[in-house]
């Protein structure tokens, strides 16, 4: 039975994360970039000012909502989304990409990230536009809502939209237990045992208690913790990585040269055959670009949709910044650390060590920080992975709510917290493979929805650009739900006044 499951899973995984799935992700990013006229390039300064720049100039970006308001701030939504995306993949995944695809894989990771910015942007725009209020007065949004209400509103697509919404939700719930929970805490427990000698069961119990205190408190508590963990962990890791890069500053030009040469086969990955080297560089670069920032999977939109913002494009720009911070900044710094510290032959792309994964990152940090290097990485993985658990608890909760209703989410959260202990103490090889597959399967219905509604995204974007840059006096395209409410209220008022 297990062999059959493994075989079927391997086949499905090969389709989802093989040439078909990666080509679909690439095509979606390219399509949304073209349809929105290269928004991430044309308005680079604007979206930087409106996101990270606005944190220092606009108090409404970081201001907490009132106790009665169930929404979270824009900054909290970003931190919660980054909590879920900045995980072990930003450290272990980059090491795997360089080992398997050579330095050239980093270039293709950048390409996927640049296009993924517009996929993530589009998801967030649709998430805000089609979100709904649940029984508790909380915003609920995500791929399942723009599939059922957006795609489902098109002629002949009512049933298709609903079926895809249910499939997406099912895949999301299953993925949340694997990629968003057990795999993360398993990495934490293993690293804490290796670096500090802490038994995995002790780590598991500690994480179980911490997770229960935060997750069972609801989204506002998850967001409150995320906005404290994410900036601290990101800044600490970036500073540590920059110290290493500047310590090896003379090697940086050669590292960048290796990335560009490897990307186009001037030096094959691992010294292999030219065509094979290019193929591996592209494949692993695209995979890491997709895995690290999750653009196209439809995951982070579920927390972005809970933001206290009316303007879909505003939240879309936070989606662009999310991908920029996760991949262009954090993943690139990890890659430079690994390439500059002597573990890769920059001429051939061959690895000069058998050490892999987090251990390789630990050795790289040890070149500058000595014995503190592996401990630094262990703590970084602890923070990265734990924050991922918090973020994915919300994703799974929203998907579960769509399937079974708001009240049922309590049961989901209790089970989710309980799986933390299971993940920290068990060898879950098959579970990791299955969660990888379910994570990828989320992409298929989500991208169908994004591509089918690309015209809606383009119209919302044009509406915003016309109002913001050209001073057009036109009605904003905010939320389909809010516009409907406004029309209902206007009709009621018209009836009263005769």
Predicted confidence (pLDDT) per residue in 393-443, tens digit: 888 999 999 999 888 899 999 999 998 888 887 765 655 666 667 778 889
Q: What residues does 140 pair with on adjacent strands?
A: 132
Q: Tell me the domain boundaries of the chain.
A: 14-481
Q: Which pLDDT score, from 0 to 100, does residue 349 have?
A: 75
Of the candidate ranges 5-9, 17-21, 330-334, the one whose mean pLDDT is the lowest: 5-9
Cβ atoms of 450 and 123 closer than 8 Å: yes
- The residue among 419, 430, 422 whose CA lies nearest residue 1 is 430
Q: Which alpha helices (DSSP H) does 131-218 contain, by range? A: 143-145, 158-177, 183-196, 200-215
pLDDT tens column, 43-56: 999 999 988 888 87
Strands in 383-459 per DSSP E:
none
Q: Which pLDDT score, from 0 to 100, does residue 400 have?
A: 93
pLDDT band for position 464 (cuts 50, 70, 90): very high
- CATH of region 14-481: 1.20.1740
Of the candidate ranges 4-13, 73-82, 352-361, 375-384, the one whose mean pLDDT is the lowest: 4-13
pTM for the full predicted model: 0.88
pLDDT band for position 268 (cuts 50, 70, 90): very low
Cα 342 from chain centroid? 30
Does 343 have pLDDT greater than 70?
A: yes
pLDDT band for position 346 (cuts 50, 70, 90): confident
Report the sign of the C-alpha dihedral through residues 283, 285, 291, 293, in that order: negative
Mean pLDDT of the 83-94 span: 74
User: Which residue matches tokens 């108090």?
Assistant: 59
pLDDT band for position 160 (cuts 50, 70, 90): very high
Q: What residues does 351 pair with on adjacent strands?
A: 344
Q: The tokens of 77 are what?
A: 């939504």
State the Cα–Cα distance between residues 497 and 420, nearest whole angstrom. Answer: 59
- Widest Cα–Cα separation across the chain: 82
The percent of residues above 90 in pLDDT, for the chain, comes to 33
- The residue among 253, 252, 249, 243 whose CA lies nearest residue 368 is 243
Q: How far is CA 431 from CA 37, 236, 281, 358, 436, in A?
A: 41, 31, 27, 20, 8
Q: Which pLDDT score, from 0 to 100, does residue 118 have?
A: 96
């Amino acid at each position: 039975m297990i062999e059959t499951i493994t075989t079927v899973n391997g086949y499905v995984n090969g389709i989802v994360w093989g040439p078909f799935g990666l080509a679909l992700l690439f095509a979606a990013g390219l399509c949304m970039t073209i349809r929105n006229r290269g928004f991430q390039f044309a308005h680079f300064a604007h979206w930087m000012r409106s996101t990270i720049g606005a944190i220092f100039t606009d108090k409404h970006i970081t201001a907490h909502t009132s106790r009665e308001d169930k929404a979270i701030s824009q900054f909290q939504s970003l931190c919660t989304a980054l909590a879920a995306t900045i995980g072990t993949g930003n450290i272990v995944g980059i090491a795997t990409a360089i080992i398997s695809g050579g330095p050239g894989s980093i270039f293709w990771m950048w390409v996927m990230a640049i296009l993924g910015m517009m996929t993530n942007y589009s998801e967030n725009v649709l998430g805000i536009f089609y979100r709904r209020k649940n029984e508790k007065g909380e915003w609920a949004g995500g791929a399942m809502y723009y599939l059922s209400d957006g795609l489902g509103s098109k002629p002949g697509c009512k049933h298709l939209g609903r079926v895809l919404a249910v499939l997406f939700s099912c895949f999301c719930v299953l993925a949340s237990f694997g990629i968003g929970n057990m795999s993360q805490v398993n990495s934490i427990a293993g690293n804490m045992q290796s670096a500090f000698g802490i038994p995995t069961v002790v780590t598991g119990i500690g994480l179980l208690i911490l997770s229960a205190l935060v997750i069972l408190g609801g989204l506002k508590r998850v967001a409150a913790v995320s906005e404290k963990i994410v900036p601290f962990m990101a800044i600490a890791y970036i500073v540590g990585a920059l110290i290493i890069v500047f310590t090896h500053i003379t090697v940086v030009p050669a590292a960048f040269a290796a990335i560009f040469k490897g990307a186009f086969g001037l030096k094959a990955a691992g010294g292999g055959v030219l065509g094979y080297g290019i193929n591996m560089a592209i494949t692993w670069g695209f995979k890491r670009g997709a895995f690290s920032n999750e653009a196209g999977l439809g995951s982070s939109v579920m927390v972005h949709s809970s933001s206290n913002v009316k303007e879909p494009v505003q939240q879309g720009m936070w989606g662009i910044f999310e991908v920029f911070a996760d991949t262009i900044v954090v993943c690139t710094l990890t890659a430079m650390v690994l390439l500059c510290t002597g573990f890769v032959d920059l001429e051939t792309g061959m690895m000069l060590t058998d050490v892999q994964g987090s251990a390789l990152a630990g050795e790289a940090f040890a070149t500058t920080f000595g014995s503190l290097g592996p401990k630094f990485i262990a703590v970084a993985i602890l923070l990265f992975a734990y924050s991922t658990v918090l973020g994915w608890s919300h994703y799974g909760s929203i998907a579960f709510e769509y399937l079974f209703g708001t009240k049922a989410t309590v049961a989901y959260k209790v089970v989710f917290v309980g799986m933390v202990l299971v993940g920290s103490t068990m060898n879950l090889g098959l579970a990791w493979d299955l969660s990888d597959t379910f994570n990828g399967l989320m992409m298929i219905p989500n991208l169908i929805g994004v591509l089918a509604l690309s015209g809606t995204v383009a119209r919302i974007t044009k509406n915003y650009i016309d109002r913001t840059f050209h001073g057009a006096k036109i009605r904003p395209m905010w939320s389909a739900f809010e516009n409907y409410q406004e029309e209902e209220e206007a009709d009621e008022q018209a009836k009263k006044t005769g």
